[in-house]
Amino acid sequence: MDSFDVIILGAGAAGLFCAAETAARGRKVLVLENNSRPGPKILVSGGGRCNFTNMHAKPEDYVTTNPAFVPYALSQFKPKDFIEIVKAKGIPFHEKKDGQLFCDKSAKSILDLLLSRAEERGVILLKEQETQEVSRNGGLFHVRTQTASYSASKLVVATGGLSWPQLGSSDLGFRIAKQFGLNIIEPAPALAGLTFPPEEMVRFDGLAGIHLNVSVSIDNWKMQEDIMITHKGLSGPVMLNASLHWQPGQEIVINWVPELDVEETYQGLKKEKNGGKVTFKPWLSERLPQRLAARLAYHAGARGNWAELPDETLKKLAETLHAYRFVPADTFGYRMAEVMRGGVDTRELSRKTMECKKVPGLYFIGEVMDVTGKLGGFNFQWAWSSAYTAAQAL
């Protein structure tokens, strides 16, 4: 059996970064990856350009059941720290918007950066190693794969989330957590968009492809960003973020004209009516794509000759435009989700080291734990920050 100081399960963003930082501290590090290629999610991230951090990342950008856990790691390794590494490697990048940093060329340059840093520091990376069993005795962790067994005094679980199973995601992290008696916050697909229930499917039929800027709210959460109507539901940045906060059965509220208030919309519609127009088109379709405007008007009962519509109908239409409510059927699921919400309960871990409180030597980093960032580079920043924080203790 080969022995190491540290074994890291998963050669993704967190695992590779943690490996290099740990090896830089003189530790003998082994990374075991079940896929034939490391970092599969890095390669597809950011539409192939990897939104590798967000310059403004702060604890409030993360959804977790234990918010007190997040600030320490983020303060230990900040976006500017990763940006320095990217700059030092000469990787060209740009800010798309709102602090979101993307590679100019390809996400592969971030994966290459992680791999070369690990290799330069002597990390051993073994691919196609499916973990069959993890055990612990004599102060050592033993990992048995289909071909060999390895041992180390410290084991880091960096196996990521359940999204995109087509890239080889697995629940190994959860199995290890359960084996050692750790609590898990129920995982769910997130940054995924939400699907229509049957009646909304009929209402939005034929509108796929329309995109516009709207405001969406779920209880106290609210965001104004772009939405996209698809054949099965609503997507686009605002809906991906909404799926991070949505619980099954919850109503979502869409404001289709967020630049106005209800009264302004009502007065605008009324002016149109008093002008003797026979259709709603000019005023509404200046503000909304025409096909969507027509559908929403029909839905609010504004049908027939516009000039003859009662004021109450216009009021109802104004209200509908500002607060279109429905209960989504579901998220688009793990196959479409960028991340998983939930995961290993961070109350089980030290926020200063990522080590399990009741299992010394066992660490969890990255997406496998119950810390999920919103869209825009926050999830990679969590991978770097949690990995770095753990590495300082390994």
Ligand X SMILES: Cc1cc2nc3c(=O)[nH]c(=O)nc-3n(C[C@H](O)[C@H](O)[C@H](O)COP(=O)(O)OP(=O)(O)OC[C@H]3O[C@@H](n4cnc5c(N)ncnc54)[C@H](O)[C@@H]3O)c2cc1C
- Site of interaction with ligand X (CB under 6 A): 9-15, 32-35, 38-41, 44-46, 50-51, 131, 158-160, 163-164, 168-170, 172, 338-339, 366-368, 377-380, 383
Cα–Cα distances in angstroms (integers) from residue 370 to residues 62, 70, 183, 196, 364, in the given order: 10, 10, 11, 27, 10
CA–CA dist 285, 58 (Å, integer): 39
CA–CA dist 1, 28 (Å, integer): 15
Closest CB 341 distance from ligand X, rounded Å: 11
Give ∠ CA 221-225-228 in degrees, rounded to 5: 110
Instruction: For ligand X, give the closer residue by CB, 8 or 229.
Output: 8
Closest CB 144 distance from ligand X, rounded Å: 12
Instruction: For ligand X, give the closer residue by CB, 294 or 394.
Output: 394
Give ∠ CA 247-178-148 in degrees, rounded to 5: 125
CA–CA dist 91, 218 (Å, integer): 39
Which residue type occupies 10?
G
Closest CB 282 distance from ligand X, rounded Å: 40
* Burial group, residue 88, by CB count within 10 angstroms (0-12, 13-18, 19+): exposed
Instruction: Report H helices in 25-152.
Output: 40-44, 70-76, 79-88, 108-120
Instruction: For ligand X, give the closer residue by CB, 20 or 269.
Output: 20
CB 81 within 8 A of CB 74: no
Closest CB 303 distance from ligand X, rounded Å: 42
Residue nearest to ligand X (CB): 12
Closest CB 208 distance from ligand X, rounded Å: 21
Instruction: For ligand X, give the closer residue by CB, 165 or 360.
Output: 165
Closest CB 149 distance from ligand X, rounded Å: 15
Instruction: For ligand X, give the closer residue by CB, 36 or 220.
Output: 36
Instruction: For ligand X, give the closer residue by CB, 114 or 297.
Output: 114
